[in-house]
Structure 1
């Protein structure tokens, strides 16, 4: 279960922990400062949960007006969609509205692979460089191909999984 903390911007009030939208909605209207005034603005903090969810929270810049949608989407999106969002928003600088947009609609080539050199091997095997006979493939300089791929592709590790990606 993912745990969040709603920290009031007012120094005269105490925040609260929550794990679901219902708890958040129930508690947010009841918070008062030391003078009995209602607290209206909160910073939402990610406290505990999966590493990929924490990275997604940071990439999406979750705040009090979209935290309920974020909690809902955590259950809806799989890890591949979450990784795509982290890369598209955090690395490729795409805009994303958590309320309306679909994480599948980004022009990002994403490969779950350890390195650019492994991607070079995969591209040769897939025939992206033409039909190269098996006996000649052993003589290719895969390090040089990987360096060339590095002009368009980058590597990132998300939640212990290595990805190679290219922003479109």
Structure 2
């Protein structure tokens, strides 16, 4: 379970902690400032728990907080990684990224390791045995990266490579 804080933009009000959408809605609707006026605008801050990187990448705010609780929080780990890639690396907003998540192909591992695996899978059978020792996987990986086909990134302490970066 994650903990969040709603920091009012109104300097005459005191914010509150919450961990569910219901708690946020209940506390935000009843919050009054020092002049007994309702507080309407908040900055949503991630305090503790899982998915801090994803929370930041998705740009969670008061307007899309419901999407975080109703959709994002329940995603599987591979879906969260794809969402992180789309929001942080590709620059999609949260709603568009949620619609494109299935288009992302991810492999756990470094750019070189993934490029080597892909090369071996698709091209190695066409390379004569006597030439295989001369294959430079690092250069192949760099070419794939420079061409936009592969992209390496870190998320939640794991290195991932997107294998269809140029087609998203």
* TM-score scaled by length of structure 1: 0.86
Structure-to-structure mapping, 1:1-168, within 5 angstroms = 1-50=1-50, 53-97=51-95, 101-106=98-103, 108-113=104-109, 115-128=110-123, 131-133=126-128, 136-151=131-146, 152=148, 153-165=150-162, 166-168=165-167
1:125 Cα deviation after fit = 2.0
- Stretches of 4+ moved more than 4 A in 1? none
More helix by share: 2
C-alpha distance in 2 between matches for 1:128 and 1:147? 17
How many residue pairs get aligned? The number is 163
Offset of residue 129 of structure 1: 5.9
2:71 aligns to what SS in structure 1? helix
CA–CA separation in structure 2 for the residues paired with 1:34 and 1:96: 35
- CA offsets 1:58-113 (integer angstroms, 9 cap, x no match): 12211112212202224421111111111112111234417x9435344x332211
For structure 1, which runs of at least 5 residues remain unmatched after alignment?
none
2 CA distance for matches of 1:159 and 1:91? Answer: 15
Change (3 A) 1:163 1:41: same
Q: Deviations over 1:14-55 (max 9, x none)?
A: 0100001111111111111111111011111111111xx212
Instruction: Mark the CA change 1:148 to 1:104 in structure 2 (over 3 Å): closer, same or farther.
Output: same
Tell me, what secondary structure is at the counterpart of 1:104?
helix
